[in-house]
């Protein structure tokens, strides 16, 4: 039966893990999960499949295009393979956990499937370990989840990592203070998103300020608005917009709390960071290691997500890309 013409290949975006790598994965998973449990997060398991109209309630535009989906032949409804777990947790809490005392702290360790555009929209499996802190709208809660993420990364043994911390509200607030069409504002956002400074300067040249603040200057400076706490202090003297001020205050509180926990060396402020799924409403953050291009974790505050499933309730959280963490552990 040894057929030499046998083509035993795997679909793109798909991988086996042999024992050496799978055991490293187990070590990474167990270590992260033990830190999450120690910090009071409890496990949940969500289904691989969801009706797309239910799942889509909680997905940002960015992920809508990446959903792998099929028609259920019996009901005629469209079923999706989960590309993200957070909307599933939001659904679960909103529909089945309303009698749990707040805050509710949950974690998961699952596989997801996304149709990634670089590869012609082919499905690609990712492993995620995530934590969600539901029911509290405070910098304390944000600082706690970031500190938990840092604790987990350190415990796993990843060295030389940084958490880049930004805030959706800052950019949103500054944008409020300029006079420009929706279309222009989208162009500004896109330029900031991909950190295309020359496009940003070009589109800003056609824009007028509304309130005489230096909103345009701040927008134009966005790509360079990163560093330590000094960035916040400097901006606070320039910014008049309330949403933006609230964002800076939130960020300052979060940074102070993280410094108290002696995590100063692991954090960078980056106000030019606006990437992320559309469900984020406040602080956003990403973890990177030296010499490894892809993020090992992403997270942020999403105060409007549970409401979409009928339970208005603030929340914050993050997810590790398990395979990127494994790759970052040498």
Could you list the residues that contact a second copy (CB under 8 A)?
1-3, 6-19, 21-23, 25-26, 42-51, 54, 57, 70, 72-75, 77, 79, 81, 88, 91-92, 94-97, 106, 111, 113, 120-123, 125, 307-312
Rounded CA-CA distance 79/67 in Å is 10
Q: Is-contact 316 104, C-beta < 8 A?
A: no
Is cis: bond before 103, omega within 30 of 0?
Answer: yes
Smallest CA-to-CA distance from 86 within 317, 269, 254 is with 317
Q: CB burial class (10 A; 0-12, 13-18, 19+) of residue 108?
A: buried
Smallest CA-to-CA distance from 134 within 108, 111, 168 is with 108
- Nearer to a second copy by Cβ, of 89 and 271: the residue is 89
**Residue 301: CB minimum distance to a second copy, A:** 18
- Nearer to a second copy by Cβ, of 77 and 260: the residue is 77
- Nearer to a second copy by Cβ, of 100 and 217: the residue is 100
Question: Residue 211's CB: how many other CB atoms inside 10 A?
Answer: 12
- Nearer to a second copy by Cβ, of 218 and 313: the residue is 313
- Nearer to a second copy by Cβ, of 26 and 290: the residue is 26
**Residue 82: CB minimum distance to a second copy, A:** 10
- Nearer to a second copy by Cβ, of 133 and 161: the residue is 133
**Residue 68: CB minimum distance to a second copy, A:** 8
| Sheet hosting strand 78-81, strand order edge to edge | 49-51, 78-81, 68-71
Q: Is-contact 156 40, C-beta < 8 A?
A: no
Task: Quote the DSSP letter at residue 291.
Answer: T
- Nearer to a second copy by Cβ, of 10 and 61: the residue is 10
Rounded CA-CA distance 86/84 in Å is 6
- Nearer to a second copy by Cβ, of 53 and 202: the residue is 53
**Residue 152: CB minimum distance to a second copy, A:** 17
Smallest CA-to-CA distance from 298 within 283, 286, 289, 288 is with 286
Question: Residue 200's CB: how many other CB atoms inside 10 A?
Answer: 23
**Residue 62: CB minimum distance to a second copy, A:** 21
Rounded CA-CA distance 274/221 in Å is 14
**Residue 229: CB minimum distance to a second copy, A:** 36
Q: Is-contact 239 218, C-beta < 8 A?
A: yes
Q: CB burial class (10 A; 0-12, 13-18, 19+) of residue 21?
A: middle
**Residue 214: CB minimum distance to a second copy, A:** 35
**Residue 80: CB minimum distance to a second copy, A:** 9
Q: Give residues with Cβ within 8 angstroms of 247, minimum separation 6.
A: 167, 168, 169, 170, 172, 173, 282
**Residue 108: CB minimum distance to a second copy, A:** 8
- Nearer to a second copy by Cβ, of 41 and 318: the residue is 41
Q: Give residues with Cβ within 8 angstroms of 309, minimum separation 6.
A: 57, 58, 90, 91, 93, 94, 95
């Amino acid at each position: 039966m040894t057929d030499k013409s046998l083509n035993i290949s795997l679909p793109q975006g798909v991988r086996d893990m042999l024992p050496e790598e799978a055991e490293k994965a187990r070590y990474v998973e167990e270590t992260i999960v033990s830190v999450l449990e120690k910090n009071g997060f409890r496990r949940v398991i969500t289904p691989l499949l969801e009706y797309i109209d239910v799942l889509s309630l909680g997905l940002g535009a960015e992920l809508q295009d990446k959903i792998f989906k099929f028609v259920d032949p019996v009901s005629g409804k469209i079923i999706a393979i989960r590309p993200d777990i957070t909307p599933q947790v939001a659904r679960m809490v909103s529909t089945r956990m309303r009698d749990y005392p707040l805050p509710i702290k949950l974690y998961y360790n699952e596989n997801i499937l996304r149709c990634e555009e670089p590869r012609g929209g082919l499905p690609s499996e990712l492993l995620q370990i995530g934590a969600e802190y539901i029911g509290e709208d405070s910098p304390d809660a944000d600082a706690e989840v970031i500190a938990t993420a840092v604790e987990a990364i350190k415990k796993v043994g990843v060295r030389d990592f940084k958490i880049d911390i930004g805030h959706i509200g800052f950019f949103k607030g500054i944008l409020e203070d300029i006079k420009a069409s929706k279309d222009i504002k989208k162009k500004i956002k896109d330029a900031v998103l991909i950190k295309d400074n020359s496009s940003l300067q070009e589109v800003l040249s056609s824009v007028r300020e509304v309130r005489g603040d230096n909103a345009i200057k701040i927008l134009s400076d966005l790509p360079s608005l990163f560093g330590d706490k000094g960035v916040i202090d400097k901006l606070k003297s320039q910014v008049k917009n309330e949403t933006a001020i609230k964002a800076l205050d939130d960020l300052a509180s979060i940074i102070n709390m993280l410094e108290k926990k002696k995590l100063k060396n692991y954090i960078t402020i980056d106000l030019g960071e606006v990437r992320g799924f559309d469900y984020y409403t406040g602080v956003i953050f990403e973890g990177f290691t030296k010499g490894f291009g892809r993020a090992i974790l992403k997270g942020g505050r999403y105060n409007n997500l549970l409401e979409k499933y009928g339970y208005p309730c603030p929340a914050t959280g993050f997810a590790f890309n398990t395979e990127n963490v494994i790759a970052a552990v040498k």
